[in-house]
Structure 1
């Protein structure tokens, strides 16, 4: 077994684990669990991500589980909205609580200077205890009289994104829905949350998170793991599972951790053209994104650009005009590459035309 893995080998390993080499017949809920959720700040983007990964994907494969409460949308990794299974929502939201609180309150430090955060959380819980869905703005306005120095927006976002575990409820996030974001308490919508989120030597949820990250993104460094989940408190979890892992070195000599039996295809494995949605974790889920995207294109990964993968790497961006997919190459494409891009673009166009409701 090699001790060093080059960038192309890392690329193929990630593509295989992300099901971007071959579309899978894995049930959508199982795939979303495997991927550790899908970035879903823009509500319709997960549908494209799944269309590129799942054979015969249909929008109801997401919409129905959302409505049936086996999938959920909530603030998690990196304080962004993710689409995850209900079980992961219950288990991971407590694990991310400190991160969410720190990042959100840092954003609104001035406006929250005189706000007792525990008191704000209690007021919000009292408000939401009636089980009625409310928007961020409604929550903020309802508590604003108590803290007039803070804007309702700041108060509402602090409550929803940080202090009180909540989920965005359907129709938000269902196919072709333009509905606004309304929230319910996570325990009311999904049932009681999981562990208390403590990061210690017995943090089984943290250990499971390490192994699940590697299963979907590895081989990877601990910095990559942290960039994906945003959590600083995982060193103990990494130490606890290290004897279950193997290690390599990347081109810069950094240690890469991995699961022994995870796929690591040969670097010359063909990689088909794939279209990724905005903020797809296949690109964002690393501190060092060079396995997927050239450094000079990296800024595009945080602007909401939708990427076209050619030979496994970002080689273009795409948008839609009505339901037609339009591609802008980021480098010259060979004739064969251009043909493959056009064929995959047509397949995605056909998906949009089939499933987008008529005006």
Structure 2
């Protein structure tokens, strides 16, 4: 039987949050099957928390070389993934994305996709640029629905720039120039378990947005485990499960981090009583820090002139001394030209 601590440490080990991975940036993104990238900065901080010796320019260069891409993937949201994973898994999530597009009625989806392919063949565009062009093709249409259909149905990547976090607030999308070669759903499940397991089919479905996975997983050659609540979990036979007594260092995770979003049941890292302090009503997932492997509070950086302050909002009493070393390292990465400080504040 797996205890809560066992589940926590197994997942942290696979997420490289017990020991930072020693390798390159593409390798760690591959191992995580991507990082959520709704905003430009969080993937940088997510990689920083997991990769030893990581420098900002490493990710910036990988994006410009298209070794890594930022694209609509899991749960129909933007993710940072390797170009290789985009090629094999974008077709796997295509039915889920098509179902999302069908929330709008009265659209000739095939015609919209063909028009978008033709328009974007001339060069990348922001959606504020693309939507008026689509309206010229489909007079009387709803521009937001047309844009959403393109985002869901057309494999696109965001075009990196020389901005600090590689993308401006309003980014251009372009055709990827990557040949799509679909993998099997079983491959996706195995990759998920390698990064997030042990897990239930509901966990995989919550993370990916795909449905009907219980039947597939029950037919795979996976190890069956039981947790402290009696649930059946699936896992890879040789995946690391270091045990709940293994020490876990303080780690700072960014907004929308994949660890917080990776399971239907988040209690392996986020206690139920704190869930409302992390997930906001407008669907934002706040940045959290981990103490002894579990989310112990939220954080944000406040920059004023040449000073950067790390504001800590603990769920329970937390000693600033416990957080200072890693917190100052975070500030040195995120705001390298600012004088750093740390402050504990009330509320989350």
TM-score (norm 1): 0.87
1:172–1:180: 8 Å Cα contact kept in structure 2? no
How many Å separate the matches in 2 of 1:355 and 1:236?
A: 53
Determine if the alignment matches structure 1 residue 115 to structure 2 residue 107. yes
Q: Which residue of 2 aligns with 1:129?
A: 121
Q: 1:327 aligns with which of 287, 305, 312?
A: 312
- Which position in structure 2 is the counterpart of 1:316? 297
* Cα distance in 2, alignment partners of residues 272 and 143 from structure 1: 50
1:206 to 167, 185, 188: 185
**8 Å contact kept, 2:88–2:181:** yes
- Seen in structure 2, the aligned counterparts of structure 1 residues 332 and 249 have a Cα distance that, compared at 3 Å, is same
Aligned positions of 1:93-242 closer than 5 A: 93-106=90-103, 109=104, 113-130=105-122, 132-160=123-151, 162-171=152-161, 175=165, 177-178=167-168, 180-186=170-176, 188=177, 191-195=178-182, 204-235=183-214, 237-240=216-219, 242=220
CA deviation after TM superposition for structure 1 residue 272, in Å: 0.8
Quote how far apart the aligned CAs of 1:234 are. 3.4
Equivalent residues of 1:141, 1:156 under 8 A apart: no
Residue deviations 1:99-150 (CA, integer Å, cap 9, x gap): 11212332xx2xxx322111111111121222x1111122211011343443
Structure-2 separation of matches of 1:173 and 1:166:
20
Q: Shift of the alpha carbon at 1:236?
A: 5.4
- Alpha-carbon distance in 2 for matches of 1:233, 1:69: 32
Equivalence for 2:342: none
The offset of 1:64, in angstroms, is: 0.2
What's the secondary structure of 2:149's corresponding residue? helix
Partner in structure 2 of residue 284 of structure 1: 261
SS of aligned partner of 1:305: coil
Cα deviation code 1:298-326 (max 9, x no counterpart): 23234231001111111110001113321
Contact 2:112 2:149 in 1 (8 A): no
Q: Does the residue aligned with 2:66 lie in a helix, a strand or coil?
A: coil
Give the conservation status (yes or no) of the 8 Å contact 1:308–1:317.
yes
Taking the aligned partners of 1:159 and 1:290, their CA distance within structure 2 comes to: 36
> Does residue 343 of the first structure (1) align with residue 320 of the second (2)?
no
Matched length: 330
Per-residue CA deviation, residues 335-358 of structure 1 (Å, 9 max, x unaligned), is 4xx3121221111111123278xx
User: Following the alignment from structure 1 to structure 2, what is the Cα–Cα distance between the partners of residues 353 and 14?
Assistant: 29
Q: Following TM superposition, by how much is the alpha carbon of 1:185 offset from its aligned partner in structure 2, in angstroms?
A: 1.3
- Mapped partners of 1:235, 1:223: distance in 2: 8
Deviations 1:243-268 (A, max 9, x none): 2x211112221111111111111211
Q: 1:306 to 1:172 in 2, by over 3 A?
A: farther
Q: Which residue of 1 aligns with 2:345?
A: none
For 2:249 and 2:163, locate their aligned partners in 1 and report how far apart those are by CA, in whole Å. Answer: 28
Residue aligning to 1:60: 57
Post-superposition Cα deviations, 1:9-38, rounded to whole Å, max 9, x if no partner, equal 100111111011111212211110010000
Unpaired segments ≥5 residues, structure 1: 196-203
1:71 to 68, 73, 82: 68
Residues 1:352 and 2:344 aligned together: no
What 5-or-longer segments of structure 2 have no aligned partner? 339-348
Contact persistence 1:43–1:173 (CA under 8 A): no
Q: Classify the secondary structure of the residue corresponding to 1:192.
A: coil
